[in-house]
Amino acid sequence: MELDWPKMRKSVFLLLFGIWVMFAVAVADEGITGNSSSLSTRPKVVNIGALLTVNSVIGRSVKPAILAAVDDVNADTSILGDTHLNLILHDTNCSGFIGTMGALELMEKDVVAAIGPQSSTIAHVISHVVNELHVPLLSFGATDPTLAALQYPYFLRTTQNDYYQMAAIANVIEYFEWKEVIAIFVDDDYGRNGVSSLGDSLAQKRAKIAYKAALTPGSSVDDITEVITAVNLMESRVYVVHVNPDTGLEIFAVAKKLGMMTSGYVWITTEWLPAVLDSSAPPYSTVAAPLQGVLSLRQHTPDSDLKKSFTTKWKNIKSKETSSFNSYALYAYDSVWLLARALDTFFKSGEGITFSADPNLQNTSGSELRLSALKTFNEGPRLLETILSTNFTGVTGEFRFDQDKNLVHPAYDVLNIVGTGFRTIGYWSNRSGLSINPPEKLYAKPLNSSANAKRLYGVIWPGETNVKPRGWVFPNNGKPLRIAVPYRHSYKEVVTKDVRSPQGVRGYSIDVFEAAVNLLPYPVPRKYILYGDGVRNPSYSNLVAAVADNAYDAAVGDITIITNRTRIVDFTQPYMESGLVIVVPVKKSKTSPWAFLKPFTIEMWLVTGGFFLLVGFVVWILEHRLNHEFRGPPSQQVITIFWFSFSTMFFSHRENTVSTLGRFVLLLWLFVVLIINSSYTASLTSILTVQQLTSRIEGIDGMISSNEPIGIQDGSFAHNYLVQELNIAESRIRPLKDRTDYINALRLGPNRGGVAAIVDELPYVEIFMSSTKCEFRIVGQEFTKSGWGFAFQRDSPLALDLSTAILQLSENAELQRIHDKWLTTSSCSTQAEIEVNSLSLSSFWGLFLICGIACCISLSIYVCRVVCQYRRFNPALEQSHDIPELEPDSARRSSRRTLRSTSFKDLIEFYDKKEAEIKEMLRRHKRQVNGHNEHNGSPD
């Protein structure tokens, strides 16, 4: 069979073309199918839920905002394209139970996220539901700080955290220098946890919550009145109100009826109050009438174009129930936009929306609740991550989460309610604290942490005054200040009982306290209560502890400010300087006929006398050949040496020195004599006038090293100080009750059952010594530095005011006048003179050494000079001058024999000659030698 190749080739070509067309169509279909698959993952409608209390201050403002946000998102195709948001709204009716049921109903309708709730209490419950079903919960109103806990991973706060709001209030409290506040709060999760955060923030500023006044949610006017009346009887006048917007105004209505909106009161509210005012139609004359002078915080939102656009849009909303909106509406609006932008990113990443049955909810047979209808959002974790990473700028400003899931750049407006509205007096931000500059400007600049930057504009306080309230008063409950006064047994000049006085007490400390109180600009009702039995001095440490334990409000008396006491109470400025000193007995030294010998020791007397003779002898040697006053018979010269030596003691020597070496030795010796005379005079004066100590204790070191008993005042802190700080054995310490015990113990001494010394505070010692005729003295220095002050309970504002008053008393000399009235200062020397010992050679050997060296050097120079002269002069040659007929050779032989035969006697005779004679003899000898040489050298 013959094949038709042309037809076959044509058939193969047609077959291959058909196969290619089919492959191309298949690929095209696959591509179209793939695209449709990708598009099919983006649903047409996405269900989102909303949970809020519609009939509430926040709900009436938030509901229109959420609806407007959903409409704006659906109208903007650049966000979700053809996908629309379907809002399913449930009214929680401000009930945790109804809110939970509403949340469960939402979950049945396959919502991918929920906006709300506005209540922190409901948010706590619903957070457990969304955790189980993996549905993100974006709350615009739940500000409870504890919702940021790790146990609520699907709870996202799209508003500010109350942690920052309470930090802002604490900064305001610190700025106005208040130390105590009273917190009025609603007793639910929102109120309790917010106030707890406030307490932590105040503690960092050295302030505190003095009292927590809790209100039951939905309290009646009678309940509110009871609580407000109770806090009005307390000391603090600074109130922080942290309640719900719907019931908060009732508190101020009650406060106004009770007269608590007048001068002296401070009211600070959290952001609930601006939420009420912002939702009301201005002017706020009706609402703001009982709020005059109130300070409040409001979440700060910058004045941007987006915010202005929202304001314009709000006016066009017809379904709204309020004429204006509050900050919660802005955050709710941005919450919807946050979710929309996150969903857009979520879908663009190729994610879909699927739900699956929760295995934990399947075994519900016999239950009417239909829990099996609840499904888990499979892509919930991915959507949660997307929301947390979303960043955009909304009507509230930059909308971004930090690592703790809080919005970045928390900030608040500080408002002052005045007239028919409010004015902004400053701002607070987490970056710079209080400032008069908007936070967005501060974030754009380098951080300025200086104190000058932290300020606010002036405030109009309740009572229409611009004077900052003190922040506290004495409790208006008829109870005066309980002041404990030590009932002393000794030193009653300081403080004691007085039955004739209306106050029942008197003394130096009482007068100082009364004078200080009289300088305060407010009355201080007070009642003095004696502490102790008067038989013994009370323990001051126990007295201070009683004040700390609220047994007394304060303690007034001679209370020493020491470290252990300052840890439990607050002290005023010291009104009396004090410190521990040591007191010992002294006695007058007895004079004797030989007292003039005591200034020097025996060795000192012997060496001094020896040097007088030595110097006199050296000067005689140096002056004998030149000075005719040092010549004469031997007996006269010996007398001259003695007279010259001892007359230099009084600088009354009549002999003048003419030699250079003699003057040099005498100059040094007179300097030595000057020092010895001065020392002798000072030592003799001290010996004749000093009071000698009868105790070996001469200061704190001697007291520590000694084993002798030591007396202290009964009840004094000196006991603990000596035992714990100086490690003195407790067996050595003897408590003494009064001045009589002091005198007897010191007079007896340690050997007869007394004490060697007494340790007490300086003011007591001065009083004690003023009546003892200088029989006792203080030795050493004060070894503690402290003072007396008045003790008050911790953080008592009265301590600060009294400190200022005490300083004023000191400046106007009133404090000194009170001191002179009660306390007398001892006329005795406060510092005892120590027994003076005789001066020994060890104090002067350097002077004697210098003088001795000078004498040796001078003698050496002089002896060398004399020997040189003597070698040039020979008595034999002088004798040969009278026998000219001798032959020269015979003369030379005679001269050599004479030199060999020179004796010490000849040397002494040579020295005894006058210097002028020696010089003449040497000149004559020189001429003789020269003449002889000329004779031998002439021709015959």
- Each residue of 317-327: pLDDT tens digit? 877 778 889 99
Q: For residue 484, is pLDDT > 70?
A: yes
DSSP per-residue codes, 660-696: HHHHHHHHHHHHHHHHHHHHHHHHHHHHHHPEEESSS
**More confident: 496 or 5:** 496
For residue 108, the one-letter residue type is E
**Distance of alpha carbon 533 from alpha carbon 541, whole angstroms:** 16
**Distance of alpha carbon 791 from alpha carbon 571, whole angstroms:** 5
Over the stretch 233-252, which tens digit does the pLDDT of each residue have?
888 999 999 999 988 899 99
CA-wise closest residue to 669 among 602, 611, 621, 606: 611
**Residue 232 pLDDT class (50, 70, 90 cuts):** very high
| Averaged pLDDT, 636-642 | 70
> Lowest mean pLDDT: which of 314-318, 335-339, 474-478?
474-478
pLDDT of 898: 46
SS3 for 147?
Answer: helix
Residue with the two structure tokens 């047409």:
44
**Residue 689 pLDDT class (50, 70, 90 cuts):** low
Q: Does residue 390 contact residue 301 with C-beta atoms inside 8 Å?
A: no
pLDDT of 263: 92
pLDDT of 886: 40
pLDDT of 657: 67
CA-wise closest residue to 239 among 203, 266, 214, 271: 266
pLDDT of 624: 66
Over the stretch 56-96, which tens digit does the pLDDT of each residue have?
899 999 999 999 999 999 999 899 988 999 999 998 887 77
Determine what percent of the chain is predicted with pLDDT higher than 70. Answer: 78
Q: For residue 3, is pLDDT > 80?
A: no
Q: For residue 645, is pLDDT > 80?
A: no
Three-state helix/strand/coil letters over 108-129: HCCCCEEECCCCHHHHHHHHHH
**Residue 204 pLDDT class (50, 70, 90 cuts):** very high
Over the stretch 529-577, which tens digit does the pLDDT of each residue have?
999 999 999 999 999 999 999 999 999 999 999 999 999 999 999 999 9
Q: For residue 98, is pLDDT > 80?
A: yes
Q: For residue 128, is pLDDT > 80?
A: yes
Query: What's the alpha-carbon Rg for the chain, to the nearest Å?
Result: 54
Q: Does residue 179 contact residue 797 with C-beta atoms inside 8 Å?
A: yes
Over the stretch 716-729, which tens digit does the pLDDT of each residue have?
889 999 999 899 99
pLDDT of 499: 87
Q: For residue 335, is pLDDT > 90?
A: yes
**Distance of alpha carbon 58 from alpha carbon 278, whole angstroms:** 10
Over the stretch 807-826, which tens digit does the pLDDT of each residue have?
999 999 999 999 999 987 66
CB atoms within 10 A of CB 468: 13
pLDDT of 338: 96
Question: What's the whole-number average pLDDT of the chain?
Answer: 82
Q: For residue 596, is pLDDT > 50?
A: yes
**More confident: 621 or 551:** 551
Q: For residue 928, is pLDDT > 70?
A: no
Q: For residue 836, is pLDDT > 80?
A: no
Q: Does residue 787 contact residue 580 with C-beta atoms inside 8 Å?
A: no
> Lowest mean pLDDT: which of 215-224, 618-627, 700-709, 870-879?
870-879
> Lowest mean pLDDT: which of 558-567, 861-870, 911-920?
911-920
Q: For residue 581, is pLDDT > 80?
A: yes
Q: Does residue 236 contact residue 179 with C-beta atoms inside 8 Å?
A: no
CB atoms within 10 A of CB 245: 23
> Lowest mean pLDDT: which of 230-239, 264-273, 490-499, 683-692?
683-692
